[in-house]
Chains A and B, each alone.
Chain A
């Protein structure tokens, strides 16, 4: 009778240990997978694109004007003039007003700059959340406690 109980307790302890190993393996696999995968993306784009090929509400018929500018056309690279300065008004009192008044023009080649570093274009909202660690710690402690109790019961059985 006592041997049967002892064997049952041993089987129980062995099954607990195997379960703990399996869960730990799954945890490691899940952690590795989430670290290697990129951000999860929402499915915001329909899978099927429309067959209509008219672009952007623009007229269907388009023509390509020649690259050479017309005689009355002023290329913005070289012919923009500055707006008249604002008189009797300190520039710092109206920040950005001069820029606002100035007609848009592209940067000339002499103004082109290569920025330093790289663009920082992520806030982390799609990064996988690692989740709290406390369930694993508490669960591990509980499993250890269970194994300890089982061992104590077995020893007590042997002593009796």
Chain B
């Protein structure tokens, strides 16, 4: 009889241990590791503000060419310097360096932001360890402002027309790099689920915008 009780007690203990282990595994999945705060430093700086009086539906005339130096997206708190991106040996667009999470890149073999055509700015969604400059790009909405600062102190103020999430295998290159009759802007980053085997996100998030107002400081 004592052996019977011992066996039943052992069964209870072993079953309880099993449940605890499974709960531990679930906790690991649901909780996850704390995220590094790599771009949070930007939130301590003044948040870029909106330009008033910008007609969202109006397409402004092209601006003069000037080197783009920074991009601001007030609605998601982005304020990032810009670097120039070219093409790699395989003809793909270069990516901004991963070791500068708050750096976005402007594609130099396309129109300058503010000039006629589709200017393209890309930025990382995240680095290997935490969020990057365009971590919240998917939260941008139609009508939001995107401001591109230029070396001549002018600001090209774009207004978002649409946001698209598309699989990378069907990336709409013709639409993104389109020859537009007006000054346009595309912001591109990664999105969707992360393919651990390919170490790549499966989708791209693309923001389409048009130039709504060119601003030039009175000097």
Contacts and interface: CB of A to CB of B under 8 A. Distances in A.
Contacts of A133: 25
B136 to A, nearest CB: 6
A54 B95 CA distance: 32
B188 A119 contact: yes
Contacts of A142: 14-15, 17-18, 21
Contact of A121 (B33, B47, B49, B122): B122
Contacts of B110: 107, 112-113
Contact of B125 (A49, A63, A126, A139): A126
A135 B171 contact: no
B62 interface: yes
A50 interface: yes
A42 B20 contact: no
B131 A115 contact: no
B28 A115 contact: no
A45 interface: yes
Contacts of B92: 115-118, 120
B64 interface: yes
Contact of B25 (A111, A121, A131, A160): A131
B109 A138 contact: no
A71 to B, nearest CB: 14
Q: How large is the interface on B (under 10, 10 to 19, 20 to 34, 35 or more residues)?
A: 35 or more
A154 to B, nearest CB: 9
Given A69-B64, A121-B190, A132-B25, A115 B98 contact: no
B49 A50 contact: yes
Given A124-B199, A125-B127, A149 B22 contact: no
Nearest 6 Cβ contacts at the A-B interface: A142-B18, A146-B15, A127-B194, A135-B25, A139-B21, A122-B190
23 contacts: A30-B29, A31-B29, A41-B131, A42-B39, A44-B39, A67-B62, A106-B67, A113-B87, A114-B173, A117-B90, A119-B189, A120-B190, A122-B126, A123-B98, A127-B201, A129-B29, A139-B22, A147-B15, A149-B10, A153-B8, A153-B11, A156-B3, A156-B4
Given A34-B30, A56-B155, A121-B124, 17 more contacts: A19-B15, A23-B19, A31-B29, A39-B135, A44-B43, A55-B215, A112-B111, A117-B90, A118-B92, A118-B173, A119-B188, A124-B200, A125-B127, A125-B131, A141-B18, A146-B13, A148-B11
